[in-house]
């Protein structure tokens, strides 16, 4: 048991570190090839923050525990909104200014409804997985086109796009292509190894406590793989880069629904546990609506204040309590 716990902790630490190295390497290569900071931020950085969830999802499905991967995807989205944004806005209230971010809210919500419709039959099939992965690539192209259009509008108006300025400060400069390639490859290899270590430990813990892999994915794994988003959001908020703090969460959630759910669908497919559609997905939808109401700014600039942050955190605590209550009978009768 202690070995399994150690494996999970080591897996989390290595995941966070290797995901950061992967993003730095990929961003460094992109900069050297002349890609703009805006495009790097919208694609590589957004993709990189979901890299831990995606790799863990693939490893879990490959090793025969696809429900852990499903729990990781949904649990990460719930954790991102309620715990990560709640904690970040509690540290410092978040202002939402960028038009790009405001446009992304309804896109994220539309993706949630589409994915819900695909899962309504109680199964994540290979066809579903293929559609989700195709949707992920389509999303990356769409976001890139929007970013370029907004950049041109800002330049024509003689203004600087706030997102490009913020991304530019976050992207490594003066890194050689050789060094960037090293970090890209090393980051990916360590991501794979640490994901396998994490999944092995998490499955052992689930068996030890007689709970489902879904519950472990929704709780332990989701919290651990969301730590990069938590660190990035708090760091961005403290630098007054509020758009990045909120944008990381929105982008990550879209990638989770399309990529993290799509991978186990393609690899193995899965029959969903009933609680996915009865409990977890409705909670994710509810929190997404709550986030939209808090952050959109119907009468001006959007703002997530500390009271709203407290509400998000209370929602997360309540959700964890419900999961615990529903899992206790399995523990006591196992």
CATH code of residue 284:
1.20.1420.30
Domain coverage including residue 297: 2-333
| Phi, psi of 2, deg, nearest 5 | -65, -35
Q: What is the mean pLDDT of the chain?
A: 83
* Number of helical (H) and strand (E) elements in the chain, helices listed first: 18, 4
What is the pLDDT averaged over residues 295-301? 69
Distance, CA of 167 to CA of 147 (rounded, Å): 12
- Cα distances (Å, whole numbers) of residue 306 to 87, 108, 212, 245, 311: 9, 24, 35, 15, 9
Distance, CA of 151 to CA of 62 (rounded, Å): 41
Q: How far from the centroid of its chain's Cα atoms is residue 17's Cα?
A: 16
Distance, CA of 316 to CA of 13 (rounded, Å): 23
Q: Looking at the 3D structure of the chain, how many domains does it have?
A: 1
Distance, CA of 219 to CA of 325 (rounded, Å): 13
Distance, CA of 244 to CA of 238 (rounded, Å): 11
pLDDT of residue 38: 63
Checking if the pLDDT of 250 tops 90, the result is no
The answer to whether 233 and 92 are in contact (CB under 8 A) is no
Checking if the pLDDT of 20 tops 90, the result is no
In this prediction, residue 333 has a pLDDT band, given cuts at 50, 70 and 90, of very low
Distance, CA of 146 to CA of 138 (rounded, Å): 12
- Cα distances (Å, whole numbers) of residue 331 to 205, 206, 207, 213, 334: 12, 10, 10, 13, 5
- Per-residue pLDDT reduced to its tens digit, 173-185: 778 888 888 988 8
pLDDT of residue 161: 57
What is the pLDDT averaged over residues 177-204? 85
The neighbour count for residue 313, using CB atoms within 10 Å, is 17
pLDDT of residue 331: 45
In this prediction, residue 97 has a pLDDT band, given cuts at 50, 70 and 90, of low
pLDDT of residue 46: 63
Helices 227-238, 242-255: axis angle to 10 degrees equals 160
Nearest to 43, CA basis, from 165, 124, 141: 141
pLDDT of residue 162: 58
Distance between start and end Cα atoms, the chain:
17
- Per-residue pLDDT reduced to its tens digit, 256-276: 999 999 999 999 889 999 999
User: What does the block give as tokens for 68?
Assistant: 């852990």
pLDDT of residue 334: 47
């Amino acid at each position: 048991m202690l070995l399994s716990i150690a494996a999970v902790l080591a897996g989390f630490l290595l995941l966070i570190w290797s995901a950061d190295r992967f993003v730095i390497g990929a961003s460094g290569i992109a900069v050297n090839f002349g890609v703009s900071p805006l495009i790097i931020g919208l694609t590589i950085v957004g993709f990189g923050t979901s890299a831990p969830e995606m790799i863990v999802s693939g490893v879990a499905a490959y090793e025969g525990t696809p429900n852990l991967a499903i729990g990781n995807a949904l649990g990460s989205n719930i954790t991102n909104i309620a715990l990560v944004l709640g904690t970040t806005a509690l540290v410092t209230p978040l202002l939402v200014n960028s038009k790009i971010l405001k446009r992304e809210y309804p896109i994220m919500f539309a993706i949630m409804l589409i994915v819900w419709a695909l899962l309504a039959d109680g199964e994540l099939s290979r066809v579903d997985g293929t559609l989700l992965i195709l949707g992920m690539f389509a999303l990356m192209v769409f976001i890139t086109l929007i970013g370029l259009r907004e950049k041109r509008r800002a330049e024509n108006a003689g203004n600087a796009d706030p997102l490009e300025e913020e991304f530019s400060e976050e992207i490594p400069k003066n890194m050689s292509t050789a060094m960037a390639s090293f970090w890209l490859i090393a980051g990916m290899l360590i991501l794979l190894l640490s994901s396998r270590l994490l999944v092995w430990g998490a499955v052992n813990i689930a068996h030890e406590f007689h709970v489902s892999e879904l519950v472990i994915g929704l709780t332990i794994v989701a919290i651990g793989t969301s730590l990069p988003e938590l660190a990035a959001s708090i760091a961005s908020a403290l630098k007054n880069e509020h758009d990045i703090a909120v944008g990381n969460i929105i982008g990550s959630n879209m990638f989770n629904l399309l990529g993290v759910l799509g991978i186990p669908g393609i690899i193995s497919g899965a029959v969903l546990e009933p609680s996915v559609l009865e409990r977890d997905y409705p909670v994710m939808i509810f929190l997404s609506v709550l986030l939209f109401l808090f952050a959109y700014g119907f009468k001006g600039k959007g703002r997530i204040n500390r009271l709203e942050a407290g509400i998000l955190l209370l929602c997360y605590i309540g959700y964890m309590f419900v999961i615990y209550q529903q899992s206790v009978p399995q523990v006591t009768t196992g």
